[in-house]
């Protein structure tokens, strides 16, 4: 299982990249705004390129800002030129619930890497996977990256974390059984260390985790207490060893 950092904060991304924990990044306009990005689409473009260069060859997902098929395709074509490791994040439907899979299919046929996102059901996920694979088959080759993003946290809000676990696991089982290699499940909307613990056992290929949640996963009051004790004991032991040496 890989870990993606759900952030546009360069310092946070560097932190986890340097820890060996970052194998990709996911962003959207809201995340960019919270991380201090300004200047509209040009600001987003510059930050995305900066992240792409920093984490290369790992992928960074950038989200289109339209739910109209032709506009999605146009934006995706432009965003894909920003860097070779940019993946275009496209919602599974528009605001009215109409499918955006025609855009996904067209872009995949063109060799553009796509992350189909905002999915909360098994059926959405397998239909998105089918569209991606059909695009590969029509093009005769697979894009560099292909993701289906299941929003575990949002499923949990309505049906509970165990139901979210089952949806993710069932999608992974389906992909494996029907031999859909190269399409990876990203679990998004990860909101707590408990989510990480449960969903990391679901068969998901990737968890995309906000820095604050990842920090909590690394923290434990008992561990801090133990480390302090270890260091205090080591210091005392070294002092005693030095006394022994002098004597």
Quick: pLDDT tens for 77-128.
999 999 999 999 999 999 999 999 999 999 999 999 999 999 999 999 999 9
Residue bearing tokens 């260390």: 193
Which region, left, alpha or beta, applies to residue 160 given φ > 0 means left and ψ of -120 to 50 means alpha?
Answer: left
Single pTM value for the model: 0.94
Each residue's pLDDT tens digit, 27-70: 999 999 999 999 999 999 999 999 999 999 999 999 999 999 99
* Among the four given CATH numbers 3.40.50.620, 3.30.590.10, 3.20.20.70, 3.30.40.230, the one describing domain 2-246: 3.20.20.70
Tokens coding 142: 């697979």
Is residue 137 predicted with pLDDT exceeding 80?
yes
Question: Residue ranges per domain, the chain?
Answer: 2-246
pLDDT in the model for residue 247? 64
191 sits in which H/E element? none
- DSSP3 helix / strand / coil % (the chain, rounded to 5): 55, 15, 30
DSSP structure string for 163-187: HHHHHHHHHHHHHHHTT-TT-EEEE
For the segment 147-160, the average pLDDT, to the nearest whole number, is 96
In this predicted structure, what is the pLDDT of residue 150? 98
- The mean pLDDT of the chain is 96
224 included as an active-site residue? no
Determine the pLDDT at residue 189.
95
Please, which pLDDT band fits residue 20 given cuts at 50, 70 and 90?
very high
Instruction: Give the span between the Cα atoms of 220 and 222, in whole angstroms.
Output: 5
Catalytic residue among 15, 89, 142, 179: 89
């Amino acid at each position: 299982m890989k870990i993606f950092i759900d952030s546009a904060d360069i310092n946070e991304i560097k932190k986890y990249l340097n820890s060996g924990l970052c194998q990709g990044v996911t962003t959207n306009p809201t995340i960019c705004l919270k991380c201090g990005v300004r200047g509209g689409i040009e600001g987003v473009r510059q930050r995305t390129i900066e992240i792409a260069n920093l984490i290369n060859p790992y992928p960074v997902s950038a989200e289109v800002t339209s739910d109209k098929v032709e506009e999605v395709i146009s934006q995706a074509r432009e965003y894909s030129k920003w860097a070779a490791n940019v993946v275009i994040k496209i919602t599974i439907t528009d605001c009215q619930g109409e499918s955006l899979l025609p855009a996904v299919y067209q872009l995949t046929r063109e060799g553009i890497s796509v992350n189909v996102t905002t999915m909360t059901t098994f059926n959405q996920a397998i239909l998105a996977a089918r569209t991606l694979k059909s695009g590969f088959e029509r093009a005769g080759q697979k894009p560099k990256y292909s993701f289906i993003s299941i929003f575990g946290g949002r499923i949990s809000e309505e049906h509970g974390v165990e139901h979210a676990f089952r949806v993710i696991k069932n999608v992974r089982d389906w992909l494996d059984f029907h031999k859909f290699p190269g399409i990876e499940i990203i679990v998004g909307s990860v909101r707590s260390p408990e989510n990480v613990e449960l969903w990391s056992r679901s068969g998901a290929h990737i968890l995309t985790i906000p820095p604050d949640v990842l920090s909590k996963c690394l923290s434990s009051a008992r561990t801090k207490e133990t480390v302090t004790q270890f260091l205090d004991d080591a210091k005392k032991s070294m002092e005693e060893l030095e006394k022994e040496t002098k004597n």
